Amino acid sequence: ADLYERMAQELERQGLGCECLGGGRLSHRPQERKIHVYGYSVGFGRADHSVTTEKLKAKYPDYEITWADEGY
C-alpha cells in the first residue's frame, strides 16, 4: 500500500491517475532463476497472477516463473 500510494501521488502530479487491481507477493530465488507469484493483499484483494506471470516471463525468459492463489 505504501508503494502504491507514493506512485499514485506522483502520477497525480503529472496529471495521470491509476487504480490498484489487487496485490500479492513474489518469491525470487536468483541462484535458481525462479520467481513464484502468490498470495493476496489484505487491503487490495488478489491480483490476477496469470497476468503478472506473463509479464515476468516476457522480461525474464530465462527464469522459471510460476504462480498460485494460495498463500499470504
What is the secondary structure of 35-67 as a DSSP string?
EEEE--BTTTBB--HHHHHHHHHHH-TTSEEEE
Q: Distance between CA 31 and CA 28 in Å, rounded?
A: 9
pTM over 0.85: no
Q: Give the SS3 label for residue 25.
A: strand
CATH, domain 21-68, list 3.40.50.10260, 3.40.50.10420, 3.10.450.50, 3.50.20.20: 3.50.20.20
* Domain range summary for the chain, segments of one domain joined by +: 21-68
pLDDT of res. 30 = 97
Q: Give the SS3 label for residue 12.
A: helix
Q: Distance between CA 48 and CA 55 in Å, rounded?
A: 12
- Per residue in 2-60, pLDDT tens? 889 999 999 999 999 999 999 999 999 999 999 999 999 988 999 999 999 999 999 99
Q: How confident is the model at residue 1 (pLDDT cuts 50, 70, 90)?
A: confident
Q: How confident is the model at residue 65 (pLDDT cuts 50, 70, 90)?
A: very high
